[in-house]
């Protein structure tokens, strides 16, 4: 049987699972399933945890919007003083609507920025463009000159630091599409400083996601520090160091103390940057929201195929694709604990793909038709990766704060899904 560990806000009150004091059975009855449920209290706690550990350093927490782009979550983080790390013009528009006061705390990353996205970001007065190629730099200079603006930039450098994580979310090696080789960066900066409309102001690095060791972060930032010192020696006013995100969590049953891990992470970065007198930018996403969220789903059917037992839920890979995409592990627990036998089953969805599974050969309490279960740690890259595959509507979302739940995204209808199509 799975157990809930302390970093998660999903805990049993007697035999019934709650999220920050809200009964999940009641949420299912009120809002239906599948349903994403987030603890605003847990998200705020993680944000404050980072802010407190870096309190002695000039810093800004720039939440990685791609992890969970809910407007309500973004508004809450903006009110806590966070900035935002965006990777598209659409995400910029989300910042404008959710936290317009934070537009000056936005960093714009991504390898394929389009001219219209650059224009929108320049008009918004964002803090920094994280430039990922020389070709992008040229287009950004053209757009800044056309609009009569100055684009503050950091080159995203590729430090060739290995981080042990899934290959799909590793970004810090030479063979990856991201960034500019750190060996060439000084030359590119010297070119950038001569461009009209461009102001070199920082150096950026991001080596991947779901990294659970601090050493790769420290090594990457150590290489960035050396570059900053060289650039300052060349006469450039480099005042921002963007250390990226990627700080990992535990998705399984292993012990995980987020406060201790943040303290270790902060200590390592502070030591590397000591005396540099730079404004540190951090881009956490998963760490802030993953364990604060879960996908609530109902068992539709159970079946036996030979020796294999299947539990079929009303949630599917279009609602949470991480297991199919990354072979990701999510703990799966019942909303109501009973004294039932233990079973081993594949827990799957209704989508017409063999890859539509949440777990294979997973041990749980016996699950029956009509039971509610939750997939834990689904607050990051769950709803933001959801799709309409098989013409399925996406789930509703609920935010729980101090025991009170409110709807932050209504369940889609088929009319919503088909509205953009023409016959």
Residues catalogued as catalytic: 352
Q: 82-89: which pairs have CB atoms within 8 A and are 24 or more residues apart? A: 82/47, 83/107, 83/127, 83/281, 85/109, 85/245, 85/283, 85/285, 86/110, 88/117, 89/114, 89/116, 89/117, 89/120, 89/121
Phi, psi of 375 (to 5 degrees): -100, 115
In 91-108, which positions are buried (b, 16+ CB within 10 angstroms) versus exposed (e)?
Answer: bbebbeebbeebbebbbb
26 is in an annotated binding site: no
Distance of CA 213 to the CA centre of its chain: 18
251 is in an annotated binding site: no
**Apex 328 CA angle, 326 and 329, nearest 5:** 170
Using CB atoms within 10 Å of the CB of residue 76, give its burial: 0 to 12 exposed, 13 to 18 middle, 19+ buried.
buried
Residue identified by tokens 């079946």 is: 303
How many C-beta atoms lie closer than 10 Å to residue 3's C-beta? 8
What separation, in Å, do the N-terminal and C-terminal C-alpha atoms of the chain show?
51
- DSSP per-residue codes, 287-319: HHHTTTEEEEEEEEEEEEETTEEEEEES--TTT
8 Å CB contact between 385 and 286 = no
Sign of CA pseudo-dihedral 367, 370, 375, 381? positive
Residue identified by tokens 């463009």 is: 129
53 is in an annotated binding site: no
d(CA 403, CA 382): 23
H and E: helices and strands count for the chain: 12, 21
326 is in an annotated binding site: yes
187 is in an annotated binding site: no
d(CA 25, CA 414): 26
216 is in an annotated binding site: no
d(CA 332, CA 363): 9
202 is in an annotated binding site: no
264 is in an annotated binding site: no
18 is in an annotated binding site: no
The token pair that represents 325 in the structure block: 């995409």
- Residue 140 to residues 133, 149, 150, 151, Cα–Cα distance (Å): 11, 10, 10, 7
Instruction: Return binding residues for substrate.
Output: 286, 322, 326, 353, 381
Instruction: Return binding residues for pyridoxal 5'-phosphate.
Output: 246, 283-286, 381
């Amino acid at each position: 049987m799975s157990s809930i560990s302390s970093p998660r806000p999903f805990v049993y009150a007697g035999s019934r699972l709650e999220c920050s004091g809200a009964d999940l059975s009641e949420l299912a009855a009120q809002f239906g399933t599948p349903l994403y449920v987030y603890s605003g209290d847990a998200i705020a706690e993680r944000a404050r945890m980072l802010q407190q550990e870096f309190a002695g350093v000039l810093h800004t927490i720039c939440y990685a919007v791609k992890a969970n782009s809910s407007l309500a979550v973004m508004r809450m983080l903006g009110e806590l003083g966070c900035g935002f790390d965006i990777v598209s013009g659409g995400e910029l528009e989300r910042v404008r609507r959710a936290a317009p006061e934070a537009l000056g705390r936005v960093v714009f990353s991504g390898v394929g920025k389009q001219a219209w996205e650059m224009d929108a970001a320049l008009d918004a007065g964002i803090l920094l463009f994280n430039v990922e190629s020389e070709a992008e730099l040229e287009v950004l200079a053209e757009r800044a000159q056309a609009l009569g603006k100055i684009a503050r930039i950091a080159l995203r450098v590729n430090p060739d630091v290995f981080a042990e994580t899934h290959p799909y979310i590793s970004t810090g090696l030479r063979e990856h599409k991201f960034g500019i080789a750190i060996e060439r960066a000084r030359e590119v900066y010297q070119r950038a400083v001569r461009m009209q409309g461009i102001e070199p102001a920082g150096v950026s690095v991001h080596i991947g996601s779901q990294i659970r060791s601090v050493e790769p972060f420290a090594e990457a930032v150590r290489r960035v520090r050396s570059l900053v010192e060289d650039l300052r020696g060349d006469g450039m006013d480099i005042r921002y160091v963007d250390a990226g995100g990627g700080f990992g969590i535990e998705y399984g049953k292993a012990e995980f103390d987020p406060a201790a891990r943040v303290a270790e992470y902060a200590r390592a970065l502070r030591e590397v940057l000591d005396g540099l007198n730079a404004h540190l930018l951090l881009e956490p996403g998963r760490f802030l929201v993953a364990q604060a969220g879960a996908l609530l789903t109902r068992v539709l059917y159970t079946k036996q195929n030979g020796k294999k037992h299947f539990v079929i839920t009303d949630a599917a890979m279009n609602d949470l694709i991480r297991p199919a995409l990354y072979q990701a592990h999510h703990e799966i627990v019942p909303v109501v604990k009973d004294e039932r036998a233990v079973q081993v089953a594949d827990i799957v969805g209704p989508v017409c793909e063999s890859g539509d599974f949440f777990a294979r050969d997973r041990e749980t309490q016996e699950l029956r038709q009509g039971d509610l279960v939750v997939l834990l740690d689904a607050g990051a890259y769950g709803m933001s990766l959801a799709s309409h595959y098989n013409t399925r509507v996406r789930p509703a979302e609920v935010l729980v704060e101090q025991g009170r739940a409110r709807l932050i995204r209504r369940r889609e209808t088929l009319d919503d899904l088909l509205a953009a199509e023409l016959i």
